A and B are shown apart, each in its own frame.
Chain A
Amino acid sequence: MNTFGGPALFLDRNDINTDEIIPARYLTEITKSALRPHLLEDLLLDGKQFDNTSKTFKDATVVVSRANFGCGSSREHAVWAFEVNEIRVIIAESFARIFRQNMFNCGILAIELPKGEIDRILALQGEVIITVNLEEEKIKAVSSLESDSPLTCSFSLNKFDRDLVSAGGWLAYAAQRY
């Protein structure tokens, strides 16, 4: 699959951490699907509790955020919580190392864009659809409002990260190779 994406959810804050993505009290779950209702349950945006029941949240398959996304704990549950909510792409200014590695290890895309590009995307109003073309390394963001013209930006993926995504993750890759 070379093109993916869909409705976007904007999380306009730096340093969104793993405990906000999935709190430790759910780490006793043994199945990934049990995490579904708890994604972003403890997130604060502008000092206010984030609503993880809204339609934009439910529909989203792409998340756009700021710097140092996924910092904190090593829990891969944070990635799975997105995965079981059908979110397959996260675009941010930067990621915490373990979180980004966990994303690619699960075969999910973590894309980094410069701050200026993220600013432009987050400035879009209305409902935004984002499509990612892996082959061309291009992202397109289209708003439902006609006043917002569509945006296109380029990104680059490291070859190894790309190989992990196509191998279906690091376990499959390593089992074959080492």
Chain B
Amino acid sequence: MGKTIAEKIFEAHLRDSPTADNMVLDIDVVMCHEITTPIAIMDLVEKGMDSVFDPKKIKAVIDHVTPAKDSKTALQGKILRDWAIRHNIEDFFDVGSNGVCHALFPEKGFIQPGYTVIMGDSHTCTHGAFGAFAAGVGTTDLEVGIYKGVCTFRAPKTLRIEISGNLSSGVTAKDVILAIIKKITVNGGTDKVIEFAGPVVDNFNMSERMTLCNMAVEAGATSGICMPDKTTAEYLWPFIQDKFDSVESAVESYRQWHSDSDAEYEETLQIDITSLEPQMTVGFKPDQVVAVSSMINSAVDQVYIGSCTNGRIEDLRCAAEILKGRKTAKGTRGIVTPATPQIYKMALDEGIIKIFMDAGFCVLNPTCGACLGMSSGVLAEGEVCASTTNRNFNGRMGKGGMVHLMSPYSAAAAAVTGTITDPRTLLA
């Protein structure tokens, strides 16, 4: 019987199987940020286990609240910084070179097909876009990952979602994933890997695949995953040139990870997105999704464009398409944070930052910022934000605030009118 990509990756990394259903895997990349790692470091120090299994396989960044906003976040940053220096972790990104982890690490080529990746962050599932098994974990799992380079998972069950059809203009990967979460609900993916496949995914660029996989956890999934192909190899080419003679030979080699045609799935869903309209969430659960067109005219206090879901250059380009030559509505605040310094620079060079500023947006440095309500755009009670982020839980962007998740097109459209707006009415 054939195997899924997740099963192949598990098999290639299996260190131990304490029971038939529990597997202990060797981990290729352990990623760390300053919110969940310091407490793990402190605990390891306290237990006399302050060492790292392999400094080259550990990547660290200060991204959630940066530059530090107060003494407490400054201390979190310092604990991570001191630890990275102490253990010779070369891939550590601090103020000036830092950006949102799930946008920054892929840009550096740290995640490659067939890898196992963990991080103390639920949106680690993003990296499945590269044909890797990437999962968010808690502090204890992170500690064991840092100390021993292993992590435990149940044998992977896979939900395959085949996406076909033609996306109409103004409709994006974000709208597709929101529609999927609506369909399968917030626990439709629990304890499963979601394999995204089909012609639409094949045609998606890496940025769009990352947007898809990023929100797999909002359906409860352990990881999202896409088959590594030519798009993957081309994106990674600057980092894999030493390993392969050509992009074609990388593609050939990556084929070893592809799910077999007779692989066994927990479930397979077919989704046609031809008639899909721009989508958004209402309420406090990511599966409370409706068409943007059904909510038009409801007021928005703030627009937030950024995050690991939609803070990449392609996302900023979409927003700029709408914002060009327009202004944010009176009474609506616009905030944009390019997810990494490289994205920021590209946006500068392409004139996109100017478009945002001319429209009246506040341009922030690369950071998670308001996405998790810790800094840089926290909402007041009763306020509403149109946001390109991934989580709309009660209190997420500030106590008593409401977050409507949507695409960069839709968020930019809301900025211009000050109300929820179907972006297609503003696209040329």
Contacts and interface: CB of A to CB of B under 8 A. Distances in A.
B29 to A, nearest CB: 16
Interface in B126-164: 135-141, 143-144, 147-148, 150, 152, 154
B220 A71 contact: yes
Contacts of A96: 187, 190, 220
B140 A19 contact: no
B273 interface: no
A20 B148 contact: no
B393 A72 contact: yes
Interface stretch (A1-9, A73-81, A126-134, A137-145): A73-81
A35 B190 CA distance: 27
A174 interface: yes
Interface size class of A (residues with CB under 8 A): 35 or more
Contacts of B24: 174, 178
Interface in A138-163: 158-160, 163
A19 B394 contact: yes
B367 to A, nearest CB: 14
Contact of A71 (B18, B143, B187): B187
A15 B186 contact: yes
Contacts of B65: 28
A98 B120 CA distance: 10
B73 A28 contact: yes
Contacts of B49: 171, 175
A19 B218 CA distance: 13
Contacts of B136: 74, 98
A163 to B, nearest CB: 7
Given A174-B144, A175-B49, A159 B72 contact: no
Contacts of B140: 76, 102, 105-106, 169-171
A24 B19 contact: no
B148 A74 contact: no
Contacts of A79: 138
Interface string A67-89: 11001111110010000000000
Contact of A170 (B152, B391, B394): B152
A74 B138 contact: yes
Given A19-B391, A44-B284, A160-B22, 6 more contacts: A27-B36, A42-B399, A71-B220, A98-B138, A99-B138, A102-B141
25 contacts: A15-B186, A19-B396, A24-B373, A27-B36, A28-B65, A28-B76, A42-B399, A44-B394, A72-B393, A74-B121, A76-B138, A94-B187, A97-B191, A97-B220, A98-B136, A98-B138, A101-B138, A106-B140, A158-B21, A160-B19, A160-B21, A170-B144, A171-B43, A171-B147, A178-B150
Interface of A: 15, 17, 19-20, 23-25, 27-30, 42, 44, 67-68, 71-76, 79, 94, 96-99, 101-102, 105-106, 158-160, 163, 169-171, 174-175, 177-178
Interface of B: 15-16, 18-19, 21-22, 24, 35-36, 38-39, 42-43, 47, 49, 65, 70, 72-73, 75-76, 119-122, 124, 135-141, 143-144, 147-148, 150, 152, 154, 186-187, 190-191, 220, 222, 284-285, 372-374, 391, 393-396, 399
